[in-house]
Amino acid sequence: MDKIDLIDGIERVAFVMKLTGDREAGIEAVKALAGDFAAAGLDNFSIWHMEQYLFGYGECADYSGQLDGALAKLPEGVELVCAPGSMRRMYHDIGVVRRDKSLIRHRVFATKLHPGCEEEYKRRHDGLIAERGDAVKQGPESNFTIWYGDGHIFGYCELVKSFDHEPTPEEHASTVAWETRQLEIMDWLTDDMNWLTGENHPPVERVL
């Protein structure tokens, strides 16, 4: 497990399931396992649907297979492709985590990396961490981690509502520049950049 033992000492746990059969039936079958996932006892737990994938995220003090029981019950048509502990952490910006989740909005996203671009993606995001240095930000991004698995990128972020605002022209230009450059190495699966690419990806759906 790739741990992040920062200010709060919390271990972030990410995993990915793939819908290999009927999507709606697979999603409903995973929803039916809500009690089993709850019994695992992870904090801040959620599962999100995008394209053919279900991305799971949770937090605990020490992960030692708590989700094994629930994941062993996955039905036919739902395949565990990235087990907890197997995903590579590509980026983090934990900042100040709001325990009161009414103060945040979730941003969960997924992209498909172009072949051979895993290290370039990591290099670019390591540069963002180096620019930030030891500074701990209040927001707008909080509890932000990005993970790699099965050729894809999966991100989990808690956006602090009190920082919501219309982007300034400078912020908009910076976003366009960064995301245009990122399109050299990846394609979006979620609707985050529909406005830039002209694509029509559906929004992410929270399953649990």
181 located within any domain: yes
What DSSP assignment string belongs to 11-63? Answer: EEEEEEEEE-S-HHHHHHHHHTTHHHHHHT--EEEEEEEETTEEEEEEEESS-
1 located within any domain: no
Residue 1 token pair: 């497990």
pLDDT tens string, the chain, 208 residues long: the values are 444 443 467 899 999 999 999 999 999 999 999 999 999 999 999 999 999 999 999 999 999 999 999 999 999 999 999 999 999 999 999 999 999 999 999 999 999 999 999 999 999 999 999 999 878 899 999 999 999 999 999 999 999 999 999 999 999 999 999 999 999 999 999 999 999 999 999 999 999 9
Domain tally, the chain: 1
CA 175 to chain centre: 19
- Three-state SS for 10-21 is CEEEEEEEEECC
Residue 143 sits in which domain range?
11-206
75 located within any domain: yes
CB 59 within 8 A of CB 11: yes
CATH number of the domain that 21 lies in?
Answer: 3.30.70
Q: How many residues does the chain have?
A: 208
183 located within any domain: yes
83 located within any domain: yes
40 located within any domain: yes
